[in-house]
């Protein structure tokens, strides 16, 4: 009976984490040492993410009852789940860099905002700049475009003023 209670608690914990996460990566952690998993978890904590390992049947039960039910097909073999609660790009980047660094592990797939994404899409996502960098780049472009628009309008106003001055001179010359 205690085993059943423990399993229900694990499922409930996963349901809570799944419902809070904005980004999920299902991974194969074969070959990872305990020290490597600890290091990965420490790195992911900085990105507001967790790396959890549990039995696939328990994760399936939790996924069925949340918005991550589509992950069921990925829960085969040794599986761990990365759950991101903040910037998805940072989580993906940290994990992809980590598996490249230690040359172990594999991405099976994931979910972003309730949509299933492939391992290739996750790798592409990981190569994007962080959200703050993208926002600052967009702001820079908008500022640059606004400055060039101001320059265009200034030259238009100057040209209209010069044209009005020339017309006024011409009209004043005709009256005399």
pTM reported for the whole predicted model: 0.71
Q: How is residue 176 written in tokens?
A: 């005399």
Q: How many CB atoms lie within 10 A of CB 92?
A: 28
Same domain? For 163 and 89 the reply is no
> Could you tell me the mean pLDDT of each successive run of 10 residues in the chain, 176 residues long?
84 88 90 93 93 90 81 88 89 91 91 87 82 74 71 75 77 65
Task: State how many domains the chain has.
Answer: 2
Note whether 21 and 37 are same-domain residues. yes
Structure tokens at 37: 């998993």
- How far apart CA 172 and CA 157 sit, in angstroms, is 22
The distance of Cα 108 from the centroid of its chain, to the nearest Å, equals: 17
Shared domain for 124 and 163, answered yes or no, is no
Q: Are 20 and 85 in contact (CB under 8 A)?
A: yes
| pLDDT for position 176 | 52
Query: 66 and 138 share a domain?
Result: no
Query: CA-CA distance, 65 to 80, in Å (whole number)?
Result: 18
CATH number of 11's domain: 3.30.70.1730
In this structure, are 41 and 117 located in the same domain? Answer: yes
């Amino acid at each position: 009976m205690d085993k059943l209670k423990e399993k229900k608690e694990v499922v409930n914990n996963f349901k809570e984490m799944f419902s809070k996460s904005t980004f999920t990566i299902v991974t194969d952690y074969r070959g990872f040492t305990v020290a490597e998993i600890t290091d990965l978890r420490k790195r992911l904590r900085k990105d507001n993410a967790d790396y959890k390992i549990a039995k696939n049947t328990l994760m399936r039960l939790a996924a069925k009852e949340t918005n991550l039910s589509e992950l069921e097909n990925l829960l085969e073999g040794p599986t761990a789940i990365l759950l991101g609660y903040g910037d998805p790009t940072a989580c993906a980047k940290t994990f992809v860099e980590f598996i490249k660094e230690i040359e172990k592990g594999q991405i099976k797939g994931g979910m972003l905002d309730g949509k299933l994404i492939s391992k290739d899409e996750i790798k592409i996502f990981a190569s994007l700049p962080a959200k703050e960098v993208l926002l600052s780049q967009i702001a820079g472009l908008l500022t640059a475009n606004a400055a060039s628009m101001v320059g265009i309008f200034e030259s238009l106003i100057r040209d209209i003023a010069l044209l009005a001055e020339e017309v006024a001179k011409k009209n004043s010359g005709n009256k005399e």
